[in-house]
Structure 1
């Protein structure tokens, strides 16, 4: 037998994770056994709330203060579960590293990307700051960050979600770890960049001989990269085995359900007689970027002369790579950042209006963020978070009425209303995204800009959320601007599609025309990458 088959580098034995909450004890992980061998890739899959992330957070000693663990986490013949912070820090960041699901919560907004990349190399790798800065630049190039010489001086808020995720991957690889734990590392990435990152991880794994534990809801990725798979449900491993066997001969009904889950169907078209709710004309967004001492400033045109019209009840899907300007465009039409051009909402021009003038319109124009954890206050309960907007926009409601509306909103997104007394850190990434959707929908807006609202969700929940968004749209006549890199979800939800690249629209039209007969080479590349993953899934079935 090979070394890869026999030498375990991380061995989790009978791990249990409980959280003490206001409503009692939550058993998040219930006696899980997981191991990974040297040079091996193990995938942990399951729905939101199945315990995937909490298992590995516990192994790393990163649970919230109300969490407690039992069991063993064996690394180098010693149990690291329960070690002091000082002892753990000698292992974390060097021997065992983790890429987190939500990069914005892991990156310090006050420090440049270069400083944050260099720090672990100085702390754990023994490099000087000058050496660490040089290696940080190499790492940015390695993970395909555009303009790395400029981005190394940037702050996290100046980068797209996908670019921030690539910075986290670079940081995790900085000290050549033995074990890399990747918690949904490609969630924020478009299909082409996702493929590049997966190839990069495979190349680095081969070169460094590191083990990878890959936590994901994307079964297409699992089939491509994993040697073995653990399937988790409600805190337990219900099935495990070699990847090919799991995909071709799944034994558990839950595994079969995961393999069959995929957003499907098409949105009924909106009649041409429907009134235009939102119109954008020649919208441009530019950012002034520092270019070093005594150097001229660099102008980045993030959105370049974009126009479109959106009828009431319609969904416009916007797709493109990370950094293409999708999210910036969404914020520009909501007048959340300075832009030139003209934006008209419900017949009145809103471009150029100040914050006070916009306040009355905010109830009808809502945004669901890409990063739910960063947008949910950790000091407020879920019930308080969801009902907060009602305090501003419907002040006449009583506390009892607000609570009732919060309960209804939670039910609409398939969450138990009794969860409203918990805090955001007690939920999985997918559950937090549904909470963010509930917070928006409780106001019953006219227009919702959805910025990657399903990116953190597994396929089964994505399918439910697609149906939920359709039902809410039909019931309340909602209009969506749907920003996503997930082409299957865009196709299932949209009337029309706009493809963006480097701030410009390269192709736009009805959803079926774009998917069935794309004209632009870039559109063909995006759809081709997505179709390849689908074909791999079908072949494995």
Structure 2
């Protein structure tokens, strides 16, 4: 019997199955899922990390990894595009169907400027001349609120913060006014004050263009305010579907109720007043670019402007602020991963300005979990090799068996099966890759860990597990954390001290309870409202 064609459906996914061939055998990531998106509709797909959300969309766009295979049907306006030749598929993706990827650093080419990368889809799919494409790029960067867009057009991806790179990806996806926008965690790397503005922008474009949006996310607050319908996924299968209001007010399954109830909780007590200072920075300044001179333009930009910080044993300092405020740059400067001015001291030893060789003895005690896990994990190494690489350098006396045992324990600590150790990074979801990055850091048993957005790619239920993990590891090994995040709910649950940054400076700091319950600065109050009253703000903007 012929399939019924629904004229109002922009996208139909029918009984799709996605299987990956791995060294451990075939892994079925998606098992017979069907869903659809109507014209002008916003549909959200939610579920825990590894539930198969992103793999459905990657298969729909013909972007599965080489060891992946999809069966079933994916119809765009009635035409099955699942097995279209690349040449025909390219006429649809990028023009009619556009996608915002979860990890902006690996989706942007590091060798090309932002201008060049945004011009390409406008010229290829939109037929614009280079000069008209440049004008449209400037318009798009203003649209997604990139600061100083004229200067940023000439920047490379590594010169931008994670949130700014995510906004560039959104601008690229919107460049040709697509028919359907597939957004895979589009606000993950965005600070709370920008999330509402981006969602408002998407809603405006949707109303103006009749665009449909398929929204993959773990942020249920955004889903409740933004989506018309919701699909809930679990372990590669569809758990529940329905209108947004129905799902949130009367969920049909225990799993959906668990997702809705999962929120970071608890509060960390401050360390003893006489606790040892593990890592400190005095008047830390980080400047990018080159100073002006004869026939040379001044391109200097100061990202961190004279900051003092002292991290004590078993303390967690939360560093918050908008994208581009200098949070991540400060963390890298303290670990001597960036050239900086000022004085940095680790366990009483000044490490400011040490070169790579002289820093090596300190590296096992100073670890970092990066914001973009896919970009920081070698695609050519298995998970086991990634986790044990540091052990080979810093604990060369361990036997191969001892290294394997340490790697297995680290994977268990972050909630992953040791049997996954022979897989490669691309065979994991974004959230699973983030847990691998945490395992790589903790396997060395460091004294200080700088955690740069370590829970940004994790759904709420897994965030709670990771928070408990970090708390336990901190207690067992007397660890100290610098916790950089835009997720204020997680910062509140994990930190005992908070620093609020803006434009490279600290505008407010103090004990977590004091800053959250009684902020002294209007900027901090605005951050708090955006974080904890997001649904209300979205409703106001989308009304």
Normalised to the residue count of structure 2, the TM-score between the two structures is: 0.96
Is 1:402 aligned with 2:403? yes
Distance 1:86 1:308 in 2: 54
Whether the aligned pair in 1 keeps the contact of 2:190 and 2:323 (CA below 8 Å) is yes
Residue number in structure 2 paired with 1:517: 518
Whether the aligned pair in 2 keeps the contact of 1:283 and 1:342 (CA below 8 Å) is yes
Whether the aligned pair in 2 keeps the contact of 1:150 and 1:291 (CA below 8 Å) is no
Distance 1:15 1:398 in 2: 45
Distance 2:536 2:110 in 1: 40
RMSD: 1.5
Is 1:182 aligned with 2:183? yes
SS in 2 for 1:360: helix
Shift of 1:533: 3.0
Whether the aligned pair in 1 keeps the contact of 2:365 and 2:445 (CA below 8 Å) is yes
Distance 1:185 1:323 in 2: 17
Whether the aligned pair in 1 keeps the contact of 2:384 and 2:422 (CA below 8 Å) is yes
Residue number in structure 2 paired with 1:356: 357
Is 1:329 aligned with 2:333? no
Shift of 1:302: 0.3
Shift of 1:262: 0.5
Shift of 1:506: 0.4
Shift of 1:76: 2.3
Shift of 1:286: 0.8
Residue number in structure 2 paired with 1:533: 534
Residue number in structure 2 paired with 1:228: 229
Is 1:416 aligned with 2:435? no
Shift of 1:232: 0.2
SS in 1 for 2:466: helix
Residue number in structure 1 paired with 2:74: 73
Whether the aligned pair in 1 keeps the contact of 2:196 and 2:537 (CA below 8 Å) is no
Give the direction of change, closer, same or farther, for the CA distance of 1:489–1:290 in structure 2 (3 Å limit): same
Residue number in structure 1 paired with 2:500: 499
Distance 1:63 1:422 in 2: 16
Distance 1:423 1:126 in 2: 39
Whether the aligned pair in 1 keeps the contact of 2:7 and 2:77 (CA below 8 Å) is no
1:1-40 alignment to 2 at 5 Å? Answer: 7-40=8-41
Distance 1:292 1:8 in 2: 60
SS in 1 for 2:311: strand
Number of equivalent positions: 533
Residue number in structure 2 paired with 1:429: 430
Residue number in structure 2 paired with 1:107: 108
Distance 1:320 1:53 in 2: 28
Whether the aligned pair in 2 keeps the contact of 1:220 and 1:536 (CA below 8 Å) is no
Shift of 1:294: 5.2
Is 1:97 aligned with 2:98? yes
Distance 1:117 1:400 in 2: 49
Is 1:123 aligned with 2:127? no
201-210 or 487-496: bigger deviation: 201-210
Is 1:282 aligned with 2:283? yes
Whether the aligned pair in 2 keeps the contact of 1:17 and 1:67 (CA below 8 Å) is yes
SS in 2 for 1:70: strand
Residue number in structure 2 paired with 1:450: 451
Distance 1:409 1:30 in 2: 30
Q: Deviations over 1:372-421 (max 9, x none)?
A: 00001111100010000001000111111111110000000010000001
Shift of 1:299: 1.9
Distance 2:31 2:515 in 1: 46
Distance 1:130 1:534 in 2: 40
Q: Deviations over 1:310-347 (max 9, x none)?
A: 11110000000000000000000011111111111100
Is 1:465 aligned with 2:466? yes
> Which runs of 5 or more structure 1 residues have no equivalent in the other structure?
none
Distance 1:458 1:114 in 2: 33
Q: Deviations over 1:234-261 (max 9, x none)?
A: 0111100000010001011110000000
Whether the aligned pair in 2 keeps the contact of 1:311 and 1:479 (CA below 8 Å) is yes
Distance 1:124 1:291 in 2: 39
Residue number in structure 1 paired with 2:199: 198
Distance 2:274 2:59 in 1: 56
Normalised to the residue count of structure 1, the TM-score between the two structures is: 0.97
Distance 2:477 2:207 in 1: 52
